[in-house]
């Protein structure tokens, strides 16, 4: 007899009473390639830690003899779906590496519900420490030793990955990483929330309750919708963000749109001394640029990101 569904978080996943987890989307993978057909970018997978298992996919644009900025990227997927080897992220980061002329470290972190938060944060921090081990030019990976300028390091991510990038920025501000200089953080359609609606955010009780339930699935120890894990406005340490500039991307039709604007507002009031800006894309929804990367608005978003990484 088939096990009954215990929790249904469609369209992401279902959890069954026997403990089985069925991911409904974000399960496809593609291998790395030393010569991408479209961009000429080389990619390969590297192990960062065996216990816990943390890895990354590296991207190196071709024909660039100089040291390049380093982008550490955290994929989205609600902390529970997608991977660094997803075709969506593989194709996107090939394009970013090529167009921006940056070395990319795309972090493969543990996912909920098998490994709830803060596992993804812990793994992402382990990846940043691994990057820092290359500061003297004698780290374990030759691509980073030879091609990455660790005095120009950027963090970025989309949705839940943007949430991770934000938390890594906070930890950098307090813990530091010797040998690295963090230039900026790009947050694309960041997954932030709160108990009280802001801006054009939904006031519908069922929608808000679903989000809180989803958050508790990803982090059973969360205190609620105003936990600093998900609501930066509730974090008294927000002002310690460890970089000089932040760019937030939001989309007009995205239910998380107003949280991105609110992030700018609270960051400016936090005592942080950097510069923050917001770019809103009209007529688009959450992570549209990943779903339709060739559309005019996605091309514009890419241009703005490239400019941010090269300023």
| CA 282 to mean position of chain CA atoms | 22
Cα separation, 263 vs 33, in Å, equals 37
Give the DSSP H or E segment for 250.
strand 245-251
> Does the active-site annotation cover 36?
no
Cα separation, 130 vs 123, in Å, equals 10
Smallest Cα–Cα separation from 89: which of 69, 101, 62, 107? 107
Q: Do 95 and 129 meet the contact criterion of CB atoms below 8 Å apart?
A: no
Q: Among 86, 254, 258, 289, which one carries the catalytic annotation?
A: 254
Q: Among 90, 166, 286, 289, which one carries the catalytic annotation?
A: 286
Exposure string over 150-175, b if 16+ CB within 10 A, otherwise e: bebbbbbbbbbbbbbbbbbbbbbbee
Q: Do 187 and 256 meet the contact criterion of CB atoms below 8 Å apart?
A: no
Q: Which residues contact 299 (CB under 8 A, 6 or more apart)?
A: none
> Does the active-site annotation cover 134?
no
Smallest Cα–Cα separation from 40: which of 85, 86, 101, 87? 101
> Does the active-site annotation cover 159?
yes
Q: Among 98, 159, 166, 227, which one carries the catalytic annotation?
A: 159
List the helix and strand counts (H, then E) for the chain. Answer: 8, 11
What residues are labeled active site? 159, 254, 286
């Amino acid at each position: 007899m088939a096990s009954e569904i215990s929790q249904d978080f469609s369209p992401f996943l279902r959890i069954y009473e026997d403990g089985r987890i069925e991911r409904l989307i974000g399960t496809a993978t593609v291998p790395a390639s030393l010569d991408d057909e479209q961009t000429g970018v080389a990619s390969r997978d590297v192990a960062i830690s065996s216990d816990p298992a943390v890895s990354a996919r590296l991207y190196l644009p071709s024909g660039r003899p100089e040291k390049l900025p380093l982008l550490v990227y955290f994929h989205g997927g609600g902390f529970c779906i997608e991977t660094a080897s997803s075709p969506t992220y593989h194709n996107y980061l090939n394009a970013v590496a090529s167009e921006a002329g940056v070395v990319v470290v795309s972090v493969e972190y543990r996912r909920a519900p098998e490994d709830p938060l803060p596992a993804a944060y812990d793994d992402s921090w382990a990846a940043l420490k691994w990057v820092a081990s290359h500061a003297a030019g004698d780290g374990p990976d030759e691509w980073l030793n030879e091609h990455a300028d660790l005095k120009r390091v950027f963090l970025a991510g989309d949705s839940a990955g943007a949430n991770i990038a934000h938390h890594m920025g906070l930890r950098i501000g307090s813990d530091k990483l010797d040998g690295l200089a963090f230039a900026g953080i790009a947050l694309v359609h960041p997954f932030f929330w709160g108990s009280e609606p802001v801006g054009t955010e939904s006031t519908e009780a069922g929608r808000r309750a679903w989000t809180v339930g989803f958050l508790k699935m990803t982090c059973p120890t969360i205190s609620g919708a105003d936990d600093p894990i998900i609501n930066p406005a509730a974090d008294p340490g927000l002002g310690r963000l460890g970089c000089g500039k932040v760019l937030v991307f939001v989309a007009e039709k995205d239910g998380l749109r107003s949280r991105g604007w609110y992030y700018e507002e609270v960051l400016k009031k936090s005592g942080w001394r950097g510069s923050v800006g917001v770019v809103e894309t009209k007529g688009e929804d959450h992570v549209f640029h990943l779903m339709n990367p060739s559309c005019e608005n996605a091309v514009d978003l890419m241009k703005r990101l490239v400019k941010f990484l090269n300023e």
